[in-house]
Amino acid sequence: MPHLDIDAPYALTPDHVAKFRRDGFIKLKDVLSAETLEHFGREITRLTIELNTEQRPIEERSTYDKAFLQVMNLWEQSPLVGRFVMGQRLARIAADLLEVSGVRLYHDQSLYKEPGGGITPAHADQYYWPLATDRTITAWIPLQPVPVDMGPLGFYARSQSVSFGRDLGISDESEAKISDNLQRHGFEFVSGPFALGEVSFHLGWTFHKAGANVSTQARSVMTIIYMDAGMRLAPALNPVQVNDRDQWCPGAVEGDIIRSRKNPVIWSRA
């Protein structure tokens, strides 16, 4: 079968874990094979295009909506995508990088940057999440190589401890204010192409952004957001966290471990 590597252990080293702890992100090569990405990627891309509700021309959209077509929780729409999202390989990497004993699913999302799609402004994902600790991590999984002209994801190294900008969602304001603040304080912005099979992982509070897609090919990316298996629901701090709580953690109670039907444990040492 072409997709057995979604469960096989990856050769993560102590140096990888130390680098992630320091920088708040890491890019790992040869995480998934070309066969695996083709096998699952066709279905991910098909569903993204089919379920997308954005029909306006790019020039009529907001900065956020120009950045990508975004479809959430594809694992609930397709058994094939569900098999991919529940894969043990990525989840074990996530748990090892977070230095926790297991991880749950927060949610998945497909990010499809069309040719001509705009920048993804600087932001930290955890602005959107009503989660009690920083033990959250996103796997950013390109379904094809991502050269520079297609808008690869880039990261502000060691920015996970910066509090300025945590109250800003993806917008022109976040791009201007966060980028300016991090540049003024000397945080290195690390960006570059992704080879086929290369996957990045970043903490929920690590600031990151992506360039515009000036190529003629769509940039199709699947993301899986994992959280510590013991993560508790925090009080929502803004309207988008209320929305996230209701959509991705149905029935969860503030202060309790998030054990909803949408948040299964994907990998655990136990």
Query: pLDDT value at position 69?
Result: 85
pLDDT at 1: 52
Question: Residue 112's pLDDT is what?
Answer: 93
Which residue in the block uniquely carries the two structure tokens 């956020």? 64
Given this model, what pLDDT does residue 56 score? 82
What confidence score (pLDDT) does residue 134 get?
Answer: 98
Determine the pLDDT at residue 152.
98
- The CATH architecture assigned to 4-251 reads Sandwich (2.60)
Are residues 24 and 125 in contact, defined by beta-carbon separation less than 8 angstroms? no
**Is the Cβ–Cβ distance between 36 and 6 less than 8 Å?**
yes
What pTM, to 2 d.p., does this model score? 0.95
Residues contacting residue 129 through CB under 8 Å, at least 6 positions apart: 106, 136, 204, 241, 244
Task: Burial-class residue 152 by CB neighbours within 10 Å (0-12, 13-18, 19+).
Answer: buried
pLDDT tens string, the chain, 270 residues long: the values are: 555 699 999 999 999 999 999 999 999 999 999 999 999 999 999 999 999 887 888 887 887 776 678 999 999 999 999 999 999 999 999 999 999 999 999 999 999 999 999 999 999 999 999 999 999 999 999 999 999 999 999 999 999 999 999 999 999 999 999 999 999 999 999 999 999 999 999 999 999 999 999 999 999 999 999 999 999 999 999 999 999 999 999 999 999 999 999 999 999 997
Q: Which of 83, 100, 101 is nearest to 268 (CA)?
A: 101
Query: Rounded to whole angstroms, how far apart are CA atoms 10 and 226?
Result: 17
In the prediction, which pLDDT does 68 show?
74
* DSSP notation for 186-246: TPPEE---B-TT-EEEEETT--EEE----SSS-EEEEEEEEEETT-BBPPP-SHHHHHHHH
Q: Are 113 and 142 in contact (CB under 8 A)?
A: no
